[in-house]
Amino acid sequence: MEEKGNNISRNTIYFDESGVASLNDQKPFFILTGVIAKNIEFQDLATYYYRLKLKHFGNEEPIHSQELFWKPTKKEIGFIEELTPYLETLDFGYITVIVDKGALLSSVPTT
C-alpha cells in the first residue's frame, strides 16, 4: 500500500522542445518530445547521471546534445558509452511530435 505523500511509485512526464514554436520563425520544424517513467526511475537516473558527469567532466556545467552528438570529444564519447547501457535498463515511454511548419501553413486557408 502506498503511503500518503509517497510519490516514488507515481509517474512523471518531462517535455523538451527543439526549434521555435512560432509559425513566423524561419526554421522549418518544431519538435516536442515527452518522456514518462516512474519517479523512482528518474531519481535513480539523476543519481547515476550526476556521478557519471562528475567522473567524465569534473563539474556540474550543463551538457547539450549538440556537444555530445555532432562533434564529440574523446571525453564525451566515453560519457555516452557509459551512459547508454544504463539507459537501456530503464522502464520508460516516450512520444515525439514533429511539426513541419511549412506544411501546416500551406494546409490552412489564408484569409
Q: What is the pTM of this model?
A: 0.67
Q: According to the model, what pLDDT value does residue 2 have?
A: 47
pLDDT: which is higher, 19 or 40: 40
Which pLDDT tens digit goes with each residue over 71-96? 888 989 999 999 999 999 999 999 99
The pLDDT mean for the chain works out to: 86
What percent of the chain has a predicted confidence (pLDDT) above 90?
Answer: 49
Q: According to the model, what pLDDT value does residue 24 have?
A: 83
Q: How many CB atoms lie within 10 A of CB 80?
A: 13
Which pLDDT tens digit goes with each residue over 38-65? 999 999 999 999 999 999 988 777 887 7
Q: According to the model, what pLDDT value does residue 19 have?
A: 79
pLDDT: which is higher, 20 or 98: 98
Distance of CA 103 to the CA centre of its chain: 26
